[in-house]
Structure 1
Amino acid sequence: MALVDQQGAASPKRRDNRGTKKPIDNDATDPLKIHVSGYPPYARIDDLKEAFSDYKVKHIKPMKNFAIITMADAKSSQDAIANSDKICVYGEFLTVRLFSEQDLLRNKRVFVKSKEKNVIIDPSKIELSGDFLQQLDQVLAAVRLTKEEVTKISKLYQDLQTVLSGIWPGCHAYPFGSITTGLGIKTSDADCFVELPAQFQHASMNHVNKAKRLLQQYPKIFTEIYSIPNAHTPIVKFFYTPTETNCDVSFKTLLGVRNSKLIAFLLHADPRLIPIAVLVKYWAKVHGFSGSGRLTNYALTMLLIFYLQQKQFGKFFVIMIKGWFFVLMRPFLKAKKGEAPAADPAPDASIEDPADLTNGLLEHGELNSSALDSASPAATAATAATAATAATAATAAP
């Protein structure tokens, strides 16, 4: 019995020890690991193995600008460090020193301002009251960029064009993306395409790296700058300090600008469209459906637009862009052999009852906050578009 009591008394203590994490010492060093730098970028692991063949090398881990070599014993590490600037790879002398965890932090790109800007507001922190329209306004007020904020961001494009004109005279900065279409929210990045004069347009020229080096000369305006030159569409990213805005700049194609003009044209055809498009965009962001490596906001918006263009929604959607409706929907309206061609939707067709389309977003005349907050993505993914249509129709109600 005494043994059982001792074990029972000791168990909580053991659990507490397991649950307590030791703080990471960034200055900690390992006597078996060395930090090796100075070798050319084309050097391979086999080259490093050969260079350290006189030492007992256990493992080599290449990093971005250096390598971590683990030795079999502390003496090998000390001997290698003693020969720093004497060991050679392809004519380059290597710098060898004891490795510390701080080296990994320095090697890792950490952009605090950009990361903070991308934090979306938690739905539970939005106070909802009143009927559906009032609650919709409250959500939009919390997440959407104001007209004044959008106006301030326009200075970003002016400053960018002015700076880049220093090396590319005559260049022009074209804004595009959600901020220009009216779908900008607090976490939205500014997107910009820079069109260069013909004499500067060379396929082999790496414009993003050149732009990066130029922007780095203005640290009070442009910070947290880095380039992605090997992407399908190379970009340079930065944080614009005056308005605290993240920005992506590309030089490849004007297609993004044209796509944004199309989106703006479609969404501004009726004042009910932008509010519900922003709501769906926020919903997707909260549940992780959109973002890097996921569904793009452009694709999400086009899915919403296409859904609203379907035949059953009648007059409003036909009038909105009748020509586009014809182009998109005509393949589905082909008549069977021997039958007369299907007619275009009647212009006086009525929109379905929103109450039949809500599926949880609109509940008893009020916005159901669980659809934005606690609902699981799996349960709500299939109803996003129908919920969006319901809210659009509901905003038209007196």
Structure 2
Amino acid sequence: MDFVDARRKSQFPRKILLAAGFITLFIFVFKNSPSFSGGSGKFSQHEPGVTHVLVTGGAGYIGSHATLRLLKDSYRVTIVDNLSRGNLGAVKVLQELFPEPGRLQFIYADLGDAAAVDKIFSGNAFDAVMHFAAVAYVGESTAEPLRYYHNITSNTLLLVKAMAAHGVKTLIYSSTCATYGEPEKMPITEDTPQVPINPYGKAKKMAEDIILDFSKTSDMAVMILRYFNVIGSDPDGRLGEAPRPELREQGRISGACFDAARGIIPGLKVRGTDYKTSDGTCIRDYIDVTDLIDAHVKALAHATPGKVGIYNVGTGKGSSVKEFVEACKKATGVDIKVEYLARRPGDYAEVFSDPSKVNRELGWSAKYNLQDSLSIAWKWQKAHRNGYSN
């Protein structure tokens, strides 16, 4: 009993500090939002010649790169993010790059809060939505399936309902090749049967089904982009990938390679060496984030009322994990230590895309190869050892 009481007493100051930290974060977020500082009111009204895009998850790795490209292309952008996976530092970079009134605003909110989502749509005149917000780790999804169904499927339902209620007619949905599971034939086309084998892929497919079923009853313009393994960073070094330290075990292989190269972790853990592939490790299609966002912008430009477009976004070429590691060693100049472990639950042997449809219909093709993407990303990682806290 005395031991329990002592623990409670010792944790009390820690809880106060934690609460103070959250309050400080909350104030910082809103003080750095144009809407907090008075703004121009432009976000609440449609303006001829200006497309206002809501980017959900815009503080995250992919969403922040999308926001950067949209702002460069003269779109008006509102980011909505609960910062559970995103980085406030990325938002600050974007605000510093585009400080003019009426260009960018950040709203701290959770898409699972129906009242907050409705309030956001009521107070803003959106022309389109790019929906990136989602938890997105295969291994984590097998350990926390309910979290994934809530965060991905349920939240997408609330978002689409809000779009319908407020007359927002264009949706660009960030989906994944995980909806295909482990197909019998490669490469994967858009007609490949969707048989996901992990909660992440299942939750994404359910979200797709919600969108597709609703589109049959409306004139919404829908573009669903199923993309493959995302790597790279902004070529000009302004944005990069910076997952929270506690998520490093769940994160992308590129992040793990860079952490090993910088000595943050002792080495790289490769899970699974007994797959039916040329070298026993998984084969994936690695798509550069800049190329990926280019596909989203082209999808937005081609979105047509009452029509649905579904596209695979990948390079069309698969690389094994061992090949990836060798490319990372070359990019970093570090002989990374590799430890080989058992397979990770929910993984599949080989996945790569057939991008011919997106090439043909949207005029899009990947420009960055694996080596170039890793070299660009490594420059950002070296300059941001502590992520955006630098």
Q: TM-score range by the shorter chain?
A: under 0.3
Q: Quick one: higher RCO (CA 8 Å, sep 6+), 1 or 2?
A: 2
State the structure with more CA Rg.
1
